[in-house]
Amino acid sequence: MTPERKARVAAWFAQLRDRLIEALETIEDAGSRPGATSARFDRRPWQRPGGGGGTMALLRGQVLEKAGVNVSTVEGEFSEAFRGQVPGADQDPRFWASGISVVVHPRSPHVPAAHMNTRMIVTTRGWFGGGADLTPVTVNATDTAAFHAALKAACDAHDPTYYPRFKAWCDGYFYLPHRGEARGVGGIFFDDLAGPDWDADFAFVRDVGTAFLEIYPRLIRRHMAKPWTEAERRAQLTKRGRYVEFNLLYDRGTRFGLMTGGNPEAVLMSLPPEAAWP
């Protein structure tokens, strides 16, 4: 992978981060009491001992109880244990990786939680991966349809096979086998994306990010003003417990990040601010 491509990718993730932060802070402004100071993202840069680093941006607000947007660009060598598990790393353990990860846990049980992540990984090979999915407390068919439609449009602009494949991949991935439950209402998930035209792959990854940026704030705004009951809040905390179970038991990114000595605060940014096991 050329240095120029790596720089373009990392720059895109930083730009998308800025746009997401702006959109989410604008929502906080809209949801705060008149005259009150609305919450802002706190950006904390971190260094990875083995090389590179990132910036974790965290907001704890009125509408968005916890929102995290993390970008990182790291490089180094995979440990012996990981070499056999990562494509193209068995002969040469060096890697470079850049990505953006977004997780939003809204305060209102009526507003769905959401996650989006896109990344490029380079070993002796190079590929993109990522996805976006929605986790409501109670399913709202209109929200689910709108979220999927936005991602489908981003997919269909590139390859008609993407959406059906990546939707099925998402459904299979964000699943809690011990509960027999899906984590949420899905979205898309893809990995090992390395077609013949790198620029086309990169354009698709940008479109996934843009689609999420367009649709998710709309879903927040649709429900953020509606009051909720204590029972609805309890249901939300229980649903968040399932989210914790998924991320710690099964999520590859979480386990990969912790096992490779990633910054635990950044890796576990995805965990909800509060959760319950009633």
Phi-psi region of 51 (alpha: psi -120 to 50; beta: other; left: phi over 0): left
Can you tell me the distance from the alpha carbon of 193 to that of 87, in angstroms, rounded to the nearest whole number?
A: 12
Instruction: Choose which of 179, 199, 228, 243 interacts with a copy of itself (CB under 8 A).
Output: 179
Q: Which is nearer to a copy of itself, 145 or 259 (CB)?
A: 259
Establish if 76 lies at the interface with a copy of itself (CB under 8 A): no
Can you tell me the distance from the alpha carbon of 231 to that of 25, in angstroms, rounded to the nearest whole number?
A: 28
Can you tell me the distance from the alpha carbon of 189 to that of 182, in angstroms, rounded to the nearest whole number?
A: 14
**Number of Cα atoms under 13 Å in the Cβ half of residue 78:** 24
x/- map, 235-274, a copy of itself, by CB under 8 A = --x---x--xx--xx-----x--xx----x--xx--xxxx
Which residues participate in catalysis according to the annotation?
Answer: 115
Q: Which is nearer to a copy of itself, 160 or 278 (CB)?
A: 278
Which amino acid is present at 218? R
Q: Which is nearer to a copy of itself, 177 or 227 (CB)?
A: 177
Q: Which is nearer to a copy of itself, 176 or 194 (CB)?
A: 176
In contact, 100 and 117? CB cutoff 8 Å: yes
Residue in the structure block whose two tokens are 């990995």: 191
Q: Which of 207, 104, 226, 98 is nearest to 156 (CA)?
A: 207
x/- map, 210-239, a copy of itself, by CB under 8 A = ---------------------------x--
Nearest distance in Å: CB 248, a copy of itself: 4
DSSP line for 154-215: HHHTT-TTHHHHHHHHHHHHSEETTTTEESSSEEEEEEEE--S-HHHHHHHHHHHHHHHHHH
x/- map, 18-57, a copy of itself, by CB under 8 A = ----------------------------------------
Nearest distance in Å: CB 189, a copy of itself: 21
Return the residues of window 119-178 that contact a copy of itself according to CB under 8 A.
177-178
Can you tell me the distance from the alpha carbon of 148 to that of 221, in angstroms, rounded to the nearest whole number?
A: 17
Nearest distance in Å: CB 7, a copy of itself: 30
Q: Which is nearer to a copy of itself, 4 or 230 (CB)?
A: 230
Nearest distance in Å: CB 76, a copy of itself: 17
Binding site for a copy of itself (CB under 8 A): 66, 177-179, 237, 241, 244-245, 248-249, 255, 258-259, 264, 267-268, 271-278
